[in-house]
Amino acid sequence: MSNMSYEAVMGRKNEIMKKAIGIDYSVFESGSIAFDFEKMMKETGYTLEEMQKIQGETGVGNTPIYELKNLTALARKCSAPGKGARIFLKDEGANPSGSFKARRAANAVFHAKKLGYKGVIAATSGNYGAAVASQAAMHGLKCIIVQECYDSTYKGQPEIVEKARKCEAYGAEVVQLTVGPELFYSFLLMLEETGYFNASLYTPFGIAGVETLGYELAIQMRERVGKDPDVVVCTNAGGGNLSGTARGLKKAGADSKVVAASVNLSGLHMASDTQFNKKSFTTGHTGFGIPFTTWPDRSDVPRSAARPLRYMDRYVTVAQGEVFYMTETLAQIEGLERGPAGNTSLAAAFSIAKEMDEDQIIVVQETEYTGAGKHVQPQLSFARDNGIEIKFGNPAEEVPGENIILPSHPEMIKAVDLDMVKIRKSLIKNAVNQVGTTDISEADILFLVEETKTSKEFVLETLKELSEK
């Protein structure tokens, strides 16, 4: 009988993961910071054509694109003359489980079945759980979804509870836990006990599944308007959405600028019991977006295939109130009722469109389904019950955990740029902290150039700064 203590299970995590994913990550490792990322994607992922076929067989993909003409008109009213790009939206809510994560899940579950696993497990509080459960139902596999759902008083966020309902509707077993380190421990235990496949968000086949989204988007826009989008905005949390979409755009030969967008939840700690229910967004926020951007390998696999800083041209944040406002606006002037995650990038796109020329094009690359706990009203009611002040005013004055400020006029919606130089330096700092020295190899330096989308000079200068501290 194996030792089931926390320390013992964590000590076996690499062995458990290898058995549950079927990937020997050591093949791609060099024993230092660097690893062969593209080799990992090539040897353990799927080609674009294979992914399109796999997804097509379960009704995933080929989702529509809408031009948001009324929203574009509103942006132009709030812009200087000649400004206000055309805003388009890729409706991933049309996928079987209601979000782009069906693309990741389709590949992961297909792969699990191909390898002979009897079931799949995913640790997620989000739409990915519903996507995995949906695909498992289609393929006849068992499914367990492990969720961080409650604080220590067993008070659950309406959005997370809604997602559990969705998973259960597809026949999955949902294991709900309180916030804290027990999630990963419980996840590892279940993988070991069941022998099921780890349908992680961060595997090569999971990320490769999103490449079809970026590729599809580029082809659809060429057919629709005769050119590639100038800007594509991606809601950013763990980084897979942006990484996969950007890789797909690249495979289509598109040269669009890729912008990451997250809800600003600075000051709130995601693993804090007391702060868990002070936030009104369960994904697409800075509590995941910043840590995973500056160090991707904090996920549930040894090497994450989601590496957003490799593809990101710009990173902006929006306030909670701006996203709630945009959710209502999309429904009321465009007739599209969609959930909060995609509306994070929509709020950012509305702001960025005002900087751009009228003949330019900006695309919001995903939407998600909405349902009981995802609606604006239950979210705001829950916030009010947890002592959060709700008011209209200037969202720039919003303090996460204290208030939610809905803009009193749409011209107040303003995405805030994060310092990309600082973010890139943070990744380099985190990387050298892993090896305990700034005296790293040439291969490591070149790897960090790729990781940060910069130059050798930038990496060397950052290493020099770190060594002098």
Report the percentage of the chain scoring pLDDT > 70: 100
Could you give the CA distance from residue 287 to residue 366 in angstroms, rounded to a whole number? 20
pLDDT at 218: 98
Mean pLDDT across 51-72: 97
Is 231's pLDDT higher than 90?
A: yes
In this predicted model, which residue has the larger pLDDT, 240 or 274? 240
Four-CA torsion 392, 393, 397, 402, nearest 10 degrees: -20
pLDDT mean over 155-160: 90
What pLDDT does 1 receive?
59
Mode of pairing for the β-strands spanning 86-90 and 65-67: antiparallel
Q: What is the pLDDT of residue 43?
A: 84
Q: Say which residue the tokens 């191909």 belong to.
A: 114
pLDDT grade for 420, boundaries at 50, 70 and 90: very high
Cβ atoms of 60 and 91 within 8 Å: the answer is no
On whether the CB atoms of residues 107 and 209 are closer than 8 A, the answer is: yes
Is pLDDT at 257 greater than 80 in this prediction? yes
* pLDDT(316) > 90: yes
Place 176 in a pLDDT band, splitting at 50, 70 and 90. very high
Q: Which pLDDT score is estimated for 125?
A: 73
**Average pLDDT score over residue span 326-336:** 98
| 46: confidence class by pLDDT, cuts 50, 70, 90 | confident
pLDDT of residue 332: 98
- The rounded mean pLDDT for the chain is 94
Question: How far is it, in rounded angstroms, from Cα 109 to Cα 139?
Answer: 8
Q: What is the mean pLDDT of residues 55-82?
A: 98
Model confidence at 61, in pLDDT bands (50, 70, 90)? very high
Range of 179-188, 280-289, 356-365 with top mean pLDDT = 356-365
Using CA atoms, how far apart are residues 139 and 404, in angstroms rounded to an integer?
Answer: 42
Q: How large is the average pLDDT for residues 355-377?
A: 95
Of the candidates 186, 199, 200, 197, the one whose C-alpha atom is nearest the C-alpha of residue 10 is: 186
Kindly report, residue by residue over 401-418, the tens digit of the pLDDT: 999 999 999 999 999 999
Predicted pLDDT of residue 299: 82
Bridge partners (DSSP) listed for residue 232 = 258, 363
pLDDT at 458: 98
Confidence at residue 250, expressed as pLDDT on a 0 to 100 scale: 98
Q: What's the pLDDT score for residue 282?
A: 86
- The predicted structure's pLDDT at residue 391: 98
For residue range 138-151, list pLDDT tens digits in order. Answer: 999 999 999 988 88
- pLDDT, tens digit, 9 for 90 and up, residues 87-143: 999 999 999 999 999 999 999 999 999 999 999 999 887 899 999 999 999 999 999
Is pLDDT of 220 > 90?
yes
